[in-house]
Structure 1
Amino acid sequence: MKKFAKKIAAVALSVAMVGGMFAGCSAASNGDDAKTSNKKTSYKIGICQLVTHDALDAATKGFEDKLNELGKADGITFDFDYQNASGDSANCTTIANKFVSSNYDLIMANATPALQACVTATAASKTPVVATSVTDYAAALDIKMNPTDPTGINVTGTSDLAPLDKQAQQIIDLFPDTKTVGVIYCSAEANSKPQADGVKKALEAKGVNCEYFAFSDSNDISAVAKNAASKVDVIYIPTDNTAASNGAVIDDACTNANVPVIAGEEGIFTNTRAVATLSISYYALGETTAQMAYDILVNGKDPATMNIQQTDGLTYKYNSEQAKKFKANIPDGYEEATTAEATTEE
């Protein structure tokens, strides 16, 4: 066995020496060209978006636009395969598995259920996943981490968490006489309850009562919204995809009860005809996500070691018609929504 091992080693050494001679001859003339030729100039990216609504759509557009901009500067192209799960987590799983079996270079998961499906689908392949429109990665991934820590797995991304204490203060500023706030959210969305808890804690510290009104799916929204609107002074809706997609239903219940709505993000603000919102720019969030994806694909960064990113861009917006109707106290620094933003689309 030792003699055989020595023979193998000798053959390997001879091959290495011959190869080294040829490599040495060519290295001087085209070493840099070889490095360049090994660099990919095209990448295939799968996009799994949970559902269609303004915030998620804006994040996807920001992601695609920014990657195309970055790629153009370096002569790199990106082929996007956009798939919408129509609000169904099972569809997210099907989409994610398809991306993995197709050997895509990277997957972008837009919203928490999409992220969860993509993490499961990539457990074996370790395909890089960048996520956006995810509020709480610790809750979504069921791991212990601070809000901006790396995940330690093949996942990184951006968080759409707005400052909950400031959103609570917004309610008090707009409606100083508020005694009870009702929080409407979907119990099936991992990110919604932590937001509700954060706003409740901040409100109760200011002496304002806060009650939860949770629905399990879109079939329950109307009944839950009507019940909430009959019992509270103001409705608050956190960043919640199911609520955003069914904003007209919540708007109808609150309008009939003559109760104002404060929204956790702009899509809900628009779709529920809320009085106001303190929201981030989801387009900018998508752009940040794109830069992270570019760093992984082109610059060789490891998603497991990349910190979760948040956006600093916060905007206070109000609907002048609804503010007047509910006699809201609009502080300085608020931006009036355009007609298109303030009107619910049919």
Structure 2
Amino acid sequence: MIGRLFSGLVMLALTAAAQPQPAARIHRGAAALDALIAPDAVVERVAEGPDWAEGPVWIAALGSLLFSDPPRNRMYRWRPADGLSVFREPSGLAGDTTGFREPGSNGMIAGADGMLLIADSGDRAIVRLDLATGQRTMLATRYDGRRFNSPNDLVRAANGAIYFTDPPYGLDGLDASPLKEQPANGVYRLDPDGRVTLIDGSLSFPNGVALSPDGRTLYVSNSDPARAVWIAYGLDAQGNIASRRVFADMTASVGPERPGLPDGMKVDARGNLFASGPGGLMIFSPAGVLLGRIDAGTAISNCAFGEDGHSLFMTAGHLILRLRTRTRGLADVERRADPTG
């Protein structure tokens, strides 16, 4: 979730229910993409307004898409019937935001029993939000006695463990920020008992994170133009790293003509990876074959499946896009009880 690296100055324009209109091109690299996205499928622009839209999550109980605007410190809600509205402000750090370039919430996932789990860039924490009461609970704020940099994205395993990334994107100056306490930009695991484990501290800018349907492969994107890669970690039965490999490398594709970097991502029920990258949203097979790309003409930061599970929502700068698919989001077929809520 790269934040304002690719965002321009935009005017806030909260929209009512938008009329569907083509908003992106679908580049087909393999015939197998037709099983996931119909040849006549159209990408719609359903809302616009944020400075930099991020962290989308569909909340079935609300019939709504929630997403973050980290620079503006807001959380938005989009509903098909009445469009876009501010859902929570501030969404992250309250009070003085000096030293922060992105003080708001970032990545979000649905928790159990009406809870929302948040990678809170401004509070530098993994947070649980009760959607009914608004009560916030800090689940993790430190590792090895030091504050996190700015938690960015997260994914939940079937056993309740939360994997999350902690780049410095929320801080003014990034790695040079005087607020930065962690020596590494890490990938972490938060266990249900509250224990935090650093599972990889070698990536320059770890960003999006996702799990395969069987929970045995953890995907992490590295949003570094000098090393634009996705890493696949094999996990053992305890959720520890058993192996590590480069899943895909698109460093050669980085450039101004293809805006974006490896960023947010989601896995569908068939194990295909929908991943933000140079030039839009990449669709990879579980074997790492690039099946196609959705090109919005601007960087796509993240995505989420919602509605009946066949709608793919994409956050792209100040835009929210939607594409109907032939596949379903993983969460719609694998939701399980989560001890962390």
Pick the structure with more helix per residue. Answer: 1
**TM-score of the superposed pair, with normalisation by structure 1:** 0.27
Pick the structure with more strand per residue. Answer: 2
**TM-score of the superposed pair, with normalisation by structure 2:** 0.27
